[in-house]
Amino acid sequence: MKDKIEIVAGILIAVAVLTTLYFYLTSVGHIGSGEISVAVIALILVVFAIYVLWDRLKNVQRGLPSKDERLININHKAGYYAFIAAIWSAVGVPMLSDFLFHYELEGSRVGSAVVIISGFVFAISYLYMERKGN
């Protein structure tokens, strides 16, 4: 039952993200490369979330648990890598921007970069470890 509640909650969150993205894109007026890149990044992360949910649903339908010891370990490891990436990107992104482009990034932009980078690191390391085994 808990597994099903988690899956339904995940689907609702994915739908909420897509709805928010739709309203953002329709209300922004001019759609430039910035808006498109935001939409693409959000879509990639939503597709990853849908893959994870579909994978869990597949197991629940077979009568197997949606997550087990191996998947919990993978989640912990991927979360750890994402945390490390978040810390380093919070320091590195403003520095790189300053060194390479002589442009001081606003705090909100740095925050967005940290969320995006840690999200991608989580997704990539999760998928890699899920395929690799350990």
**Sites of contact with another protein (CB under 8 A):** 59, 62-65, 67-71, 130, 132-134
Residue number with CB closer to another protein (2 or 30): 2
Q: How far is the CB of 68 from another protein (least distance, A)?
A: 4
Q: How far is the CB of 123 from another protein (least distance, A)?
A: 18
Q: How far is the CB of 30 from another protein (least distance, A)?
A: 46
CB 93 within 8 A of CB 114: yes
Sign of the alpha-carbon torsion through 74, 133, 124, 25: negative
Residue 79 to residue 72: CA distance in whole angstroms: 10
